[in-house]
Structures are given as structure tokens and as C-alpha cells.
Structure 1
């Protein structure tokens, strides 16, 4: 038994020595892990709360849109963008609010949420869609240079034809017929192998515009 006691004492001494050397580090690591776990749980709770609150506000925005209440739609979307910009609901709210403002004939207030979404939307595809819609609004508002500026950055292939077609409209509005022809030609080329009904329709429209300015030449 004495031999076992001595062996245990040796082990305890080794453990004590190890703890004296590394105990502080182990304690810090354990506390860090615990805090990280609590922090992660807190972050998930916060994100869930944000999403639920944003969802409720988006429901209000949808009701305002159905009722064609442009002011309430604008205010609700503003709250979503200000307080819940990290959620997908903020992206959708910007596009929906702009649509309601356009239906009300308010180009100025349609531009604001689209400008935000074009730059800060969480979804890259929504950013590109917002840029396209913003350029359309700017064209309607005769802000041609600003509209073209929205179409200059590289764009995903799925948006290429729509960007080129709209660019042609803007250039034609500026009286730049040759440049417009080149843009319409690019739109038609981008849709050359299109099979979906929507894309085929857009190709036919772009082709009609191209023919109207003198064709491919």
C-alpha cells in the first residue's frame, strides 16, 4: 500500500507542477470557450429576434402596398432599412417601397430605397436588380448620365441583356443613335440562344428597337 501511496503522491506532485505551469492558461481558455458559447447563443437569439421583428414590419409594408398607401409604405420601409438592414426583409422592402412610390407617380421617393438597395442590399442579385430599376427611374426622370452610371459596373450574365437593352434606351434618349444601336445589338446577342418565354420576348423587343435605329448593319 505504501508503494501505491508513494506513486499517487508522485502523480499528484506531477499534476500539481503541471497545473502550476499551465493552470492559468487552461482557466483562461475554458473561460474564453464559455464566453464564446454564451456569445454565440446570444448572437443567435439576437438575429432571431431581428428577423421576427423585420418580418412583422414587412407584413405591414405588404398591406400598405395592397392599399396603395405610399406614405405608410415609405415610412415602414424606412424603419426596416434603418433598424434591420442586415436582414433579407430590408432588401425586399426597398424594392417593394420603390414600386409603391412609382405607382403613385413619385419618382423622387422611388429613387431613395433603390439607391440604398443598389449599394447595400445583402443579396448581390438584388443589388443588380435594384441598379436596373434605379436606372429605369432615372431615365424616366431624364437624369440620363446618372442612369448610365448605374449600368457601368460589371453585371452577372443573367442581367446582361436587360442592362444592355436599358442602356440603349438611355443612349437613344440622349440622341446617341449609333451608341444605342450597339447596345441593342449587345442585348440581342446576349439572348441569341434564349428559350424561356420571358427572355424570348425581351429578345424580340430588343430586336425591334435595333431595327428601328437601323438594324445591326
Structure 2
């Protein structure tokens, strides 16, 4: 009996050896690739979390500098954030914050610079579009009408269609092109969902231009 069992065990061992000789290298390679990929993914996740944490800290520094009104600190903190973590969401939000603070103080060149950076470098398309729309408003305020239209003609997510058309209307009106302004405002109205308060703002502009929307 023992001899019979020994023979069966030896046969199983021989089969296992044969299997491993045939497939062992491939199995080992697959395991190395899988484990390597797992390790790389964990490393990437750690790197992303670390980037986000450090970007958040610098973003908070930007916010504190904005609240203090210290332009030197704002420039330094935002500059560090752009240089080291420019591709993060935090950097884009900080840029919008810096631009708003500069605009509120009438520092239009600084506002334009911050918004241009966000429009060119933000990783999120929505934040890019937000920066472009606000940049167009700054350019309109500076009477740079053609430049404002160029920014508004940049491809943006469809959810911005209405506000882009509305801003185009503002630019055309400032340029003295009433017909084009009316066309843009009507386009903005058509692209705004019924019941949205923003429709009333556009309607007021059209009524002021003599358009009866009844």
C-alpha cells in the first residue's frame, strides 16, 4: 500500500514539475507584472494624496494672504502654488480667488494675469471655462472688445453656452453693434432653461434694446 501511495505521489510530483517547467516562467512574469502594477498604483495614489495635501496647505496660505490684503504675500504664495502644484484643482481655485481680490481692488492687470493662468493651466474644463468667462468680463471693462470676443469664442463645455452668449451680447453692445448684441442675447435666452432666474436678467437686456418678448 505504501509503495502504491508513493508511486501516486511521485506521479503527482512529476506532473507538477512538468506543469511548472511549461508554465512557471509565464506565471512568474504575470505575478511580477501584477504585483509591480499594484505597487505602482499604490505609489501613484500616495503621490497624488501628498500633492493634494501640500497644495491645500499652500492654497490656504493664498486665502490667508488675500484676506490680509498683503499683495506681496499673495504673489509669493500663489507663485509657489503655481510653480509646484500648478496642475491641481487647488491651484485653479486659488487663481480665481486671487483674480477676484485683484478685480475688487481695481488691479485689472493682476486679475487678467491670474485668470489667464487658470484658463491656460487648470486641469478641470469647468474651471478653465469659468476663468475665461471672467477674463472676458475684465477685458470688456478694459475696453479690449476684440480680445474679449476671442476669449469667448474659445471652445467651452456646453453648460456655459448661455452665459457665454450673454457675455458676447455685452461685448457687442459695448462696441455699438446693437443687432449683434440682440442676436447674442436671444441665443442666451434660448439656451437658458425655463424657470431659471438668469432668464430674467437676459430679458431685461433685450427689453432695454426694444425687443418685445411677449
Common topology (TM > 0.5): yes
Q: Which moved more, 1:137-146 or 1:117-126?
A: 117-126
Matches within 5 A, 1:74-113: 74-113=75-114
Name the CA distance, whole Å, in 1 between partners of 2:144 and 2:51. Answer: 37
Give the superposition deviation at 1:116: 2.8
* CA contact 1:70–1:100 (8 Å) conserved in 2: no
The equivalent position to 2:199 in structure 1, one of 195, 200, 203, is: 203
Give the superposition deviation at 1:2: 1.2
- What SS does the corresponding residue of 1:205 show, helix, strand or coil? helix
* CA contact 1:60–1:76 (8 Å) conserved in 2: yes
Name the CA distance, whole Å, in 2 between partners of 1:25 and 1:140. Answer: 67
Name the CA distance, whole Å, in 2 between partners of 1:7 and 1:84. Answer: 64
Name the CA distance, whole Å, in 2 between partners of 1:25 and 1:151. Answer: 56
Query: What's the counterpart of residue 43 of structure 1?
Result: 44
Q: Deviations over 1:33-64 (max 9, x none)?
A: 22222212211211111111111111111111
* Unaligned residue ranges in structure 1 (runs of 5+): none
Query: What's the counterpart of residue 13 of structure 1?
Result: 14
Q: Deviations over 1:169-197 (max 9, x none)?
A: 111122211101111223344447224xx
* Unaligned residue ranges in structure 2 (runs of 5+): none
Name the CA distance, whole Å, in 1 between partners of 2:33 and 2:188. Answer: 56
Name the CA distance, whole Å, in 2 between partners of 1:17 and 1:205. Answer: 80
Name the CA distance, whole Å, in 2 between partners of 1:206 and 1:48. Answer: 43
Give the superposition deviation at 1:155: 4.7
1:134 aligns with 2:135: yes
Query: What's the counterpart of residue 174 of structure 2?
Result: 173
Distance 1:72 1:216, change over 3 A: farther
Distance 1:155 1:32, change over 3 A: closer
- What SS does the corresponding residue of 1:90 show, helix, strand or coil? helix
Name the CA distance, whole Å, in 1 between partners of 2:6 and 2:80. Answer: 71
Name the CA distance, whole Å, in 1 between partners of 2:188 and 2:212. Answer: 12
Give the superposition deviation at 1:86: 3.3
